[in-house]
Structure 1
Amino acid sequence: MRFRTLQELAALCAAEGRTIGGLMLAEQAAEAGVSEEDAFRQMAGYYHVMKEAVRKGLDEEPVSRSGLVGGDGRKMNAYLERGEPSVGSWAGLAMAYALAVSEVNASMGRIVATPTAGSCGIIPGVFVSSQERFGWPDGKLVEGLFAAGAIGYVIANNSFVSGAEGGCQAEVGSAIGMAAGALTELRGGSAEQAVHAVGLALKNTLGLVCDPVAGLVEVPCIVRNGLGAVNALAAADMALAGVRSVIPSDEVIGVMLEIGSAMPAAHRETALGGLAQTPTGREIAERLRNARPKPKP
């Protein structure tokens, strides 16, 4: 890729008069040695999977194998249909869709890891709800996925996207930043505004630990996806309004690396700390261990 930082990415877009999504499409095609049409077609397939996961999560009410989670996306969607939610209908849909996709993941369904399975609901929640809100064609959202990919590329190469390495700030935080930056561009914002959206989003999740109860990507992961989708909408709105990330977004990514590196192992996907080690968290883990079939002698 011709960029390593968000600043370089925005500068390239400004110099060449391109969107982040358009520039990343060209970069990805060149990197993979395929045509832009083929690269776009592959990404369109990923977006189709995202939309399928939203629908499956709402229509089929998947339940995880542990039985801990399932049906919350559907509950949220039903709540929206009963009246005006506190967060507004668009944010409410983004939340419901993010929960639904995360539940499909927990039930071993088909999802797109964006950037990880543990944060898979945020971008679909934001993108599919936005598409319904504005009536955008699929092609516009596919270009948005390239924009999100460019942002994720920078984060992954300068910090973490794995909870085991950097805590949930690396998984859910990165997904929120990717969704916020891409949505800013989809709504007509400049590459510079999109970059500010990333910084605004990431600052809100710095230090977030990864503490899955019983070591499963279910509690509190799924709820964090739902709330993360709403955070992404808010960060995009701030950027579009002209709010800037006073600390440059690349520096925020550097801070995420610093915090993640200093984070105790107990708070990095080991289930040895945080919510996983509350009395209820330990009780759930013990119950699930006892429910497992005993190996035959």
Structure 2
Amino acid sequence: MELDFNYSSVAGVVAAAELGGIPISRLVLNQQALQMEQSEESIYEHMRSNYRVMAECIEPGSNKNLRSTSGLTGGSAYKMRQVAESGTSLTGSFLSGALYRALAVSELNASMGRIVAAPTAGSCGILPAALLTMQTEKNIPERDCVMSLFTASAVGMVIANNASLAGAQGGCQAECGSAAAMAAAAIVELAGGTPHMVEHAIAIAIKNILGLVCDPVAGLVEIPCIKRNASGVAGAFVAAELALAGIESAIPADEVIWTMKKVGDAMSSSLKETAEGGLAATPTGRHLHEQVFGTAREPGNGCSGCGGCAS
């Protein structure tokens, strides 16, 4: 099979998959095995180990007594899980299940637990929550979920090549936005959607989070990052649902990614992980900084408040 494509565009990846009559995941797995001179099964097993680390985050991340080192966060996943499993959720066990899983992975990250950056630590809960919810609620086999990670990875590589995955460069749209797009792509494939539908899900997911700033309170990946992971997985399911219904994005995915890059470039540095603007600059945000570090947050002191950047 000829694998004449790269990760310079979503359209190129989709066209190659459609030409070969295979899912994007299969296309990526084949190509990676050839490029890395390894068997497809060994590449798959490596990805499966990542997926299992994701799955292993849920129980410890849902612990009632889990707290981050700063003391600012923890316990939200437990509360959401109680609601999801009690049958009292407004949205049912499917979406509420995705929400608690996203919170669990993110809170475990904030508590120095072992997570998979997907694509970053700040957005680590979105993709795992999407896939583990599909596996649990829709009885999708683990192998299919692992394969969908190759589809998600392809999306991440295209975004990395054309925009950014870093909040410090592109704002939270680059982190949670990219993760939502990756998750939406994986969901569509798991649900039996075509590569063409995957492309539209990517575009819709990013459009809905375009311009989101990165404004970590006290410079920590906790507030508002953790709850944005919950919103991100919800947005991924919205984008996937629309795409699977045959609803298309008027703006192609590659142009949406290009736009994300331009928006990130235009964004003030105070809104790109410096903790100098947005929610970090509110009175409560400054109070929480002082609560954690014992000193008032002063502009220019860097994201952790240690003063290292100023010196």
Q: TM-score, normalised by structure 2?
A: 0.92
Give the corresponding residue for 1:200. Answer: 204
The match for 2:5 among 2, 7, 22 is: 2
Greater CA drift, 275-284 or 59-68: 59-68
Count residues in correspondence.
293
Letter in 1 for 2:45: R
Structure 1's unaligned 5+ residue stretches are none
Q: How does 1:84-233 map to 2 (within 5 A)?
A: 84-233=88-237
Greater CA drift, 173-182 or 54-63: 54-63
Query: Deviations 1:116-138 (Å, cap 9, x if unpaired)?
Result: 00000001111111100121221
The match for 2:31 among 27, 51, 75 is: 27
Letter in 1 for 2:22: R
Greater CA drift, 25-34 or 173-182: 25-34
Checking the alignment, whether the CA contact within 8 Å between 1:54 and 1:124 is kept in structure 2 is: no
Greater CA drift, 28-37 or 204-213: 28-37
Letter in 2 for 1:15: L
Letter in 2 for 1:8: G
Greater CA drift, 189-198 or 50-59: 50-59
Separation in 1, partners of 2:133, 2:288? 33
Structure 2's unaligned 5+ residue stretches are 296-303, 307-311
Checking the alignment, whether the CA contact within 8 Å between 2:85 and 2:93 is kept in structure 1 is: no
Q: Is it true that 1:62 corresponds to 2:73 in the alignment?
A: no
Separation in 1, partners of 2:56, 2:5? 33
Q: Is it true that 1:71 corresponds to 2:75 in the alignment?
A: yes
Shift of 1:84: 3.5
Separation in 1, partners of 2:50, 2:64? 21
Give the corresponding residue for 1:47. Answer: 51
Indicate the SS of the match to 1:200.
Answer: helix
Give the corresponding residue for 1:246. Answer: 250
Separation in 1, partners of 2:63, 2:51? 18
Shift of 1:60: 6.1
Separation in 1, partners of 2:204, 2:100? 23
Higher helix share: 1
Question: Deviation above 3 Å: which 4+ runs of structure 1?
Answer: none
Q: TM-score, normalised by structure 1?
A: 0.96
Letter in 2 for 1:35: S
Query: Deviations 1:160-209 (Å, cap 9, x if unpaired)?
Result: 11000000000000000000011001100000001100000000011000
Letter in 2 for 1:75: K
Letter in 1 for 2:259: V
Shift of 1:140: 0.6
Shift of 1:8: 0.5
Checking the alignment, whether the CA contact within 8 Å between 2:131 and 2:186 is kept in structure 1 is: no
Query: Deviations 1:19-77 (Å, cap 9, x if unpaired)?
Result: 01111111222232211111000000000000000122124642110000001011001
Indicate the SS of the match to 2:184.
Answer: helix
Separation in 2, partners of 1:138, 1:122? 17
Shift of 1:81: 2.5
Checking the alignment, whether the CA contact within 8 Å between 2:63 and 2:75 is kept in structure 1 is: no
Separation in 2, partners of 1:83, 1:278? 36
Separation in 1, partners of 2:65, 2:94? 21
Separation in 1, partners of 2:105, 2:114? 9
RMSD over aligned CA atoms reads 1.5
